[in-house]
Structure 1
């Protein structure tokens, strides 16, 4: 048996845009589009992560032209393209959700992050308080049982 090396495995999740169904995405070759637009994208892009854990794509444009970027934009994505803050609705996207931007001549920068609907710090605080409360309750129960059995 011979194994074939693969550049990357298919993604577990592809977005469904414009009320598209999973079957329609499959019919249109969603995973093939993913390979073309993301994995084998011909744009020479440098990918980094900034201090806020956002993906930063930079590339040098030779002229003003339209480019498909090797990332996916979701409804809650926070986007900055060449210094201008944009929403998902303000961007033209491929069927798959890859942004289509008008590059300028020179250095271009596309930053994308995601702001969750619920504040993560609030959720973590609630989790911490719950865990501490459970430990206090368990400790009090153990002490109470110890005192009860000692009195017998």
Structure 2
């Protein structure tokens, strides 16, 4: 398996090198450069490699997760905690704060539910940042008090 992966990577590297030399010059207009076949094929290779990396990462992560019951229990706590943060953030967000009217005056069509979803996403971000900062501070304080 290891030799097959090496051979595939060498072949993809060679294809990438060949395509690199077929890319358009910097003097080519953007509209024409975007339609270049070499560039499109390089994007296809990139997406293919990304999909393979994501697939293998998920497979091995799930394999390791289900092989240890303790790690599965911790992961379930983290997933439930994240779900609670998302639910709390959605409950705290408000779509009727005048944003819809402000966007309509700028010719941007939006709805209250869209504004509420954006607010929920921002709330999730801020709550997770606060949790991260508190966790780092707690770890630092705990480490300093043990010495």
Which TM-score band (shorter chain)?
under 0.3
TM-score (norm 1): 0.22
More helix by share: 2
Which structure would you say has the larger RCO, counting Cα contacts within 8 Å and 6 or more residues apart? 1
More strand by share: 1
TM-score (norm 2): 0.22
